[in-house]
Amino acid sequence: MSGIDKIIQEIESNTDRSCESVISAAQKKAEAILDDARREANKIAADAKEATAKHVADIKKRGESAADLEEKRVMLSAKQRIISDMLQTGLDHVKNLPEDAYFALIRKMVVKYALDSEGEIRFGEKDIKRLPVGFIEKINEDCKGRITLSDSAAEIDAGFILLYGGIEQNCSFDAIFASESENLCDRAGRLLF
């Protein structure tokens, strides 16, 4: 082998070693980059898994809360319907009392609501037709003021209207139940639930 061949061979050998060294360093760097990327990917996956778990737990909690709220809304609606039905049943019962009990109740109510002055009492058509004889006189025995029977009928189903100088006091059962409905609902709610 000639001197030039030796030099070329030496250069080739140095070049091969240099290339192997560069390739080896590049492979190590590539492996380090890949390891870093794997660690970063694992961290991102773990964070995503944790965030997903939190999100799922959040959705579940909101769903349970919404379900609880809906259950409470349905229960409240059912309770209100029961109370409303009960009050309507009570109102119907009072309106349909036997005549003696009905007019005894009317008498007590007139005494309670009558003023200490001259007034008029107005009944609905149905009550005017079945008004007991001497009923107004019996009312006046218990009242502080004086009540006279109105010439005209009131547009009410049951109960009465008191008139004092053009001012009406609606004592129909519908009006009394309506004005006392909140109080009656509270009482019924406490009794039932």
Exposure of 122 by Cβ count < 10 A (0-12 exposed, 13-18 middle, 19+ buried)?
Answer: buried
Task: State whether 89 and 19 are in the same domain.
Answer: yes
Structure tokens at 150: 């109105």
Task: State whether 14 and 82 are in the same domain.
Answer: yes
Q: What is the pLDDT of residue 80?
A: 80
Dump pLDDT digits (tens) for 50-63.
Answer: 888 888 888 888 88
Domain containing 68: what range?
A: 1-96
Residue-wise DSSP of 3-60 = HHHHHHHHHHHHHHHHHHHHHHHHHHHHHHHHHHHHHHHHHHHHHHHHHHHHHHHHHH
Task: State whether 144 and 83 are in the same domain.
Answer: no
Task: State whether 5 and 92 are in the same domain.
Answer: yes
Select from 96, 125, 159 the last residue of a domain: 96
**CATH for 159:** 3.30.2320.30
Task: State whether 65 and 1 are in the same domain.
Answer: yes
Q: Measured on CA atoms in the order 60, 66, 70, 75, is the torsion positive or negative?
A: positive
Task: State whether 68 and 122 are in the same domain.
Answer: no
Dump pLDDT digits (tens) for 75-114.
Answer: 888 878 887 888 788 888 888 889 989 999 999 988 888 8
Task: State whether 52 and 75 are in the same domain.
Answer: yes
Task: State whether 55 and 128 are in the same domain.
Answer: no
Amino acid at 144: K
Task: Say what the pTM is.
Answer: 0.59
Task: State whether 2 and 90 are in the same domain.
Answer: yes
What is the C-alpha separation between 17 and 25, in angstroms, rounded? 12
Greater confidence (31 vs 191) lies with: 31
Structure tokens at 25: 């360093």
Task: State whether 38 and 119 are in the same domain.
Answer: no
Task: State whether 57 and 116 are in the same domain.
Answer: no
Select from 96, 127, 144 the last residue of a domain: 96
Instruction: Give the number of domains in the chain.
Output: 2
Select from 96, 124, 156 the last residue of a domain: 96
Dump pLDDT digits (tens) for 131-188.
Answer: 899 989 988 888 888 888 888 888 998 999 989 888 888 989 888 888 877 776 677 6
Task: State whether 92 and 102 are in the same domain.
Answer: no
